[in-house]
Amino acid sequence: MGNCREIEVGGKPLVIYDHDIEPPTGSDLLGYCLWDCAITLAHYLPINARSHPLSGKTVIELGAGTGLPGLVSGTLGAARVTLTDRPHLLPGLRRNVEANAETLSSEIKVLPLEWGDDEESTLSAFGDRPFDVVLMSDLLYDVSAVPDLCRSLKGLSDSHTEILLAYELRFGTTECFKVLRENGFGWVKVGREELDPVWQSEDIGIFRVSYL
């Protein structure tokens, strides 16, 4: 069984298993473990909820990997949370939902989503679209994937959606942001003083993304 971490966020204990994928190599396997961006975003969510309450809202996480930010939303009063990723990561995502069942107060769905698949037959599974909140953690590293990511974002949100993006500064991140803008999105960086004082780092940022 994959590595397991116990994490307390906003006073709620959560357990997050890495996926059982051996060996964890190759770009297809990037979601097998919990990344630092997800930890930073997860700890920001209870802080953000003071000014943007999640109560009764619908939330979707794209490229959820092990699903921590989405699961934290599920402890903050969201009505429904949808965790998405590529099909091979869904069993592990479901295990993390089950492992935290007693802590979660929201209905949680786990659905496959390959970015850019905007066929009506795919999107019709996402009954809550446009979602109230979209979460994206550590998805900006491959510039060629950003147009497809934007297409999915447009299919699942609208100009009223609160879109939170956590990124880690890496080679190529600046180029990814350029493509995000070319595809009609702008952003405002959340001030470091607004983030959890412990769970932040110099090379990780959180942005509020909006339609231009």
Ligand X SMILES: C[S@@+](CC[C@H](N)C(=O)[O-])C[C@H]1O[C@@H](n2cnc3c(N)ncnc32)[C@H](O)[C@@H]1O
- Kindly list the residues in this chain that would bind ligand X in the complex (CB under 6 A): 30-31, 34-35, 37-38, 63-66, 85-86, 89, 113-115, 137-139, 145, 148
Residue 58: CB minimum distance to ligand X, A: 19
Interstrand relation of 4-9 and 12-17 (parallel, antiparallel or unpaired): antiparallel
Residue 207: CB minimum distance to ligand X, A: 14
Residue 138: CB minimum distance to ligand X, A: 4
- Residue 46 or 92: the one with the smaller Cβ distance to ligand X is 92
**Phi and psi torsions of 80, nearest 5°:** -140, 145
Count other Cβ atoms within 10 Å, centred on residue 197: 9
- Residue 65 or 74: the one with the smaller Cβ distance to ligand X is 65
Helices 173-182 and 146-156: angle between axes, nearest 10 degrees: 50
- Residue 37 or 176: the one with the smaller Cβ distance to ligand X is 37
Distances 160 to 7, 75, 163, 212 between C-alpha atoms, Å? 31, 23, 9, 12
Residue 76: CB minimum distance to ligand X, A: 18
- Residue 128 or 148: the one with the smaller Cβ distance to ligand X is 148
Closest CA to 58 of 73, 42, 78, 84: 78
